Structure 1
Amino acid sequence: MKLTIEQTDLAAAVGYAARSLPARPPVPVLAGILLDAQHERLRVSAFDYEVSADTAVPATVTENGRALISGRLLSDIVSTVRGTVSLELHGPRMLLKAGSARFTLATLPLEEYPALPDPGATVGTLAGPAFAEAVAQVACAVSKDQALPVLTGIGLRHDKKAGTLTLYTTDRYRFAVRTLAWKDADLPDCTAVIPAGALQDASKASADDTTIDLALPTANSGLLTVRGAHHTSTIRALEGELPKYETLFPTEFEHEATVEIAALKAAVQRVALVSTKKEAPIRLTFGGDGTLVLEGGTSVDAQAVDNVTTTLEGGELSIAFNPSFLIDGLNALGTQSVQFQFTSPTKPAVLRGHDSDDQALRYCLMPVRLTG
């Protein structure tokens, strides 16, 4: 193998593939990135049996060939060199040159590297920016508890009749749901749960693509494929199912309030400063006089009170939330104002962007019961 390639192209390709490398590879070859030089392009791939990343960039190829290189080391090197990069394979060694820099890298055994998975047939097409936005929005409610792996994933639900793909997440304290319309989704209704981190990486890589193709997991493969203009990722689905969000979201409300998000976030952050614990709740009292009062702290420690302007339909309501969870939802909405929908102070509240449609993000947040 012998080729030259622009550093920016190589760094982008290697960086994309390196995100799929396992932190603790079960076997040494899975720490490698596969370089395949063929016909004026360099294909860069990584695979660990759970996630694969595959991309191709233009290159001036003098000799076709393949090599497996330590991914982390290669990523570090190509991110620091500049200009045109030369790669040349000499037996078990790869010579990398860029400007005055010269590196001799050991290769890993190609014969031990697993074949990349079949990406599967496309079942639907989405706008790349919309898919990346939806994944980022619902990721706010993904659980960090590795003891329950299914809660660390993002649920995907295809509704054939509606022609929609719904993304949803929960950590048992909140639920985030976002729906997208998609084209050519000719398959039966189905659901799958995809590891959140891998799906975020895949969606970000194709966020600038006009359209992306998806292949949902099947009983045979169990793989989700995200295919953009230049990148293809496969991700193995998690076992199990997330709770059914349809039964958890209230449908009738006694109170509705609208608040400007920037002002509310700033007030929540100020009031939360007096709490000795990050998860200590703050109380929100929506008044009929157009004022939302925020209170935090305890009588034995520091206390704080702040207020912002609100519009309220229904009677006065006082409810408490975990401030971090509340801010996560406000950040994810991506709108200027938030609409709160309440049934009672002890039942889940729904947050959504003011004047948003039914397919926009809905964030269901459990209140915290206060004592005293």
Structure 2
Amino acid sequence: MKFSINQSELQNALSVVLKGVATRSTLPILSGVYLDAQKDSLTLQTTDLELSIQYSVAALVEEEGKTVVPGKLFSEIIKNLPDAAVHVETEEETALITCDTSSFSIKTLNAEDFPGFPHVDVQQEMSIPFSQFSSMVKRVARVVSKDESRAILTGVLITFEDTYLKMVATDSYRLAITEVQLPDTPAEEFQAVIAGSFLQEIATLPRSEEDIKIALAENQIVITYQDTVFINRRIEGNFPNYKQLLPDSYATRVSMDKERLISAVKRTSLLGQSSSPVKFDIDTASQTVLLSAAAQDIGSAQETLSCAGEGENVEIAFNCAYVIDGLSSIATDNVFLEVQSSLKPGIFRADQDENFLYLVMPVRIS
């Protein structure tokens, strides 16, 4: 195998496929990057047997062939080369990498031992502009649970019904829901739970005007974007029935300036840890919200915000970090807080133009 490619293009390709390299596997081949030089393109593949990534990039191929190089080492070498043409040539079990005045010789692995890229029988496919997909994922994926013992909560529930694409995530303390209408999508209705970490990796890919394609198979999801194909296993199990948590009415509803609210919550939380509770004392008569926090043996803090509200006066407390997480996901200038009582979940909603809802379980007020 013999090919030449620009350093920055190869580095960019490696930054994408390295997300699929196995980090804890006992099989050395899974820590490698499979290189396949054919005609005028180079295809890179990685897999950890859960996630598989394939990326194609234009290259000057002098001699066709396949090999597997150690992923981390190969990436570090390419990253540290100057921005010039990189030449890669393989002989038996060695790859020779040259660029400008630098040259490296590294051991390779047998390409025959590398798992074949999965062939997936796709049953459903839909397209969505990448920027829309990315912002939806970033809003909900921060809410997924880190607790591997309840795998279903580490995923995002993606559904498509009545022309609406919806994403839902929960860690059982809070819940985030976002949806967009895709009226021109011919896809049939579907639902699948996909790993939040996987979706976050895709959402951080370079933005472009191109659509991202989402396809579902029996137990896998296939995502195609630009020259890259990602295949990941769906999470099996029943996602919690989140709809029963959503109340159809509220006792109190207030609208506040989002940036002022975020700043006020951050200030009142300075006394305790980020997980300390912040109390919202809503007074609809005076159209104010008094935020307060107290830490034993340290002191207390409070701040008054103006609001536009309706309904009953109510006191409710939430985990500070959860509130800031939810408010950071809202893109509108104003935010609504809806409360039924001090012991029932509070709901933060984006202003009308945007379909985003964030539900937080309350903290008991002593």
Normalization by structure 2: what TM-score? 0.94
* Structure 2 CA distance for partners of 1:356 and 1:365, relative to 1, 3 Å: farther
Moved over 6 A (4+): none
> Equivalent residue of 1:227, what SS?
strand
Q: 2:281 aligns with which of 281, 285, 288?
A: 285
How many angstroms does 1:281 deviate by?
Answer: 0.6
After TM superposition, the structure 1 = structure 2 runs for residues 326-337 of structure 1, keeping only pairs within 5 Å, are: 326-337=323-334
Aligned Cα RMSD in Å? 1.6
Deviations 1:214-238 (A, max 9, x none): 11232xxx11011112211111011
Q: Which runs of 5+ in 2 are unaligned?
A: none
Distance 1:58 1:291 in 2: 60
> Equivalent residue of 1:55, what SS?
strand
Deviations 1:93-142 (A, max 9, x none): 11111222211111112222110112443521111111111111101211
How many angstroms does 1:338 deviate by?
Answer: 1.1
**Match in the other structure for 1:123:** 125
How many angstroms does 1:72 deviate by?
Answer: 1.1
State whether residues 259 and 338 of structure 1, in contact with CA within 8 Å, keep that contact through their aligned partners in structure 2: yes
> Equivalent residue of 2:263, what SS?
helix
Distance 1:352 1:74 in 2: 46
Q: 1:273 aligns with which of 263, 270, 282?
A: 270
State whether residues 141 and 199 of structure 2, in contact with CA within 8 Å, keep that contact through their aligned partners in structure 1: no
State whether residues 140 and 176 of structure 1, in contact with CA within 8 Å, keep that contact through their aligned partners in structure 2: no
Identical pairs, percent? 27
State whether residues 206 and 212 of structure 1, in contact with CA within 8 Å, keep that contact through their aligned partners in structure 2: no
How many angstroms does 1:15 deviate by?
Answer: 0.7
**Match in the other structure for 1:93:** 94
**Match in the other structure for 2:158:** 156
State whether residues 120 and 217 of structure 2, in contact with CA within 8 Å, keep that contact through their aligned partners in structure 1: no
Distance 2:269 2:52 in 1: 41
**Match in the other structure for 2:43:** 43
> Equivalent residue of 2:315, what SS?
strand
How many angstroms does 1:299 deviate by?
Answer: 5.2
**Match in the other structure for 1:228:** 225
**Match in the other structure for 1:320:** 317
**Match in the other structure for 2:356:** 361
State whether residues 205 and 231 of structure 1, in contact with CA within 8 Å, keep that contact through their aligned partners in structure 2: no
Deviations 1:35-77 (A, max 9, x none): 1111111111111211011111111111111111111112222
How many angstroms does 1:22 deviate by?
Answer: 2.2
> Equivalent residue of 2:116, what SS?
coil
* Structure 2 CA distance for partners of 1:75 and 1:126, relative to 1, 3 Å: same
After TM superposition, the structure 1 = structure 2 runs for residues 83-232 of structure 1, keeping only pairs within 5 Å, are: 83-121=84-122, 123-159=125-161, 162-182=162-182, 183-187=184-188, 189-205=189-205, 207-218=207-218, 222-232=219-229
Distance 1:291 1:340 in 2: 13
Deviations 1:303-362 (A, max 9, x none): 1112222211112221100000000000111222211112112111111112234xx221
State whether residues 192 and 241 of structure 1, in contact with CA within 8 Å, keep that contact through their aligned partners in structure 2: no
One-letter amino acid matched to 1:282: V
Q: Is 2:252 aligned against 1:255? A: yes
- The number of residues matched between the two structures is 362
One-letter amino acid matched to 1:104: S
State whether residues 45 and 52 of structure 1, in contact with CA within 8 Å, keep that contact through their aligned partners in structure 2: yes
